[in-house]
Amino acid sequence: MPGGYVRFLRGRGAATDTAVILVGFLVTGVVCGVVWWLLVDPAEFTKTRDGSVMGEVDLTKRFAPDGWYAVIALVAGFLAGLVVTWRRARDLRLTTVLVVVGSLVAAAAMAAVGAALGPGDPDPVLASATRGTTVPADLSVSAGVTYLMWPIAALAGALMVLWSSPGVGDPLNPEQAPG
């Protein structure tokens, strides 16, 4: 049974490549979402008589979710693009499209998992809180361009394989392609 599973994963069909790559990126995005949630120390709002405020230290923490998201996405995206292209480069056009689509799936999964695990919208909590209560800000990405870290890094990882020396396993030459 395990031998059949390994043969399935090493299958040469486009459908197998598509499934393996997209599921791999999805799982990677979910794991990265958990890591993102664990690393970010959310900023906090303090309830006041007139609404809520955020101190200077907490204002600097407002950039942490975007920064950590970018760092995690760059590292994971690069490694994922590298591994996927190295192991599944049977059809370079298909692999490139799947790396881009998979990285977008991973970006969405990371954001969704991080937001689900992190603190929710602070506004309803602040509305019913007493003065002096602190409420954490939600875990989200403020700058939409941050989501592009996944595809940029994944394509950079893929390029490392495509530009590598032929002795390592040339994906342009089917006889030398790994896997």
Is the confidence at residue 8, as pLDDT, over 50?
A: no
- In this structure, are residues 16 and 8 in contact, taking their beta carbons and an 8 Å threshold? yes
Q: Of the candidates 83, 65, 93, which has an alpha carbon nearest to the alpha carbon of residue 149?
A: 65
Give pLDDT tens digits for 24-75: 999 999 999 999 999 998 887 877 777 777 777 777 778 889 999 999 999 9
pLDDT of the residue at 101 = 96
Cα–Cα distance, 162 to 159 (Å, whole number):
5
pLDDT of the residue at 34 = 97
Rounded mean pLDDT of the chain? 82
pLDDT of the residue at 5 = 43
Extents of the domains making up the chain: 12-167
Q: In this structure, which amino acid lies at residue 55?
A: G
- In this structure, are residues 104 and 150 in contact, taking their beta carbons and an 8 Å threshold? yes
Is the confidence at residue 9, as pLDDT, over 90?
A: no
E strand or H helix at 53: strand 51-53
Cα–Cα distance, 77 to 83 (Å, whole number):
10
Give pLDDT tens digits for 163-177: 875 544 555 555 555
Average pLDDT on 76-90 reads 89
E strand or H helix at 134: strand 134-136
Q: How confident is the model at residue 148 (pLDDT cuts 50, 70, 90)?
A: very high
Task: Give the pTM.
Answer: 0.78
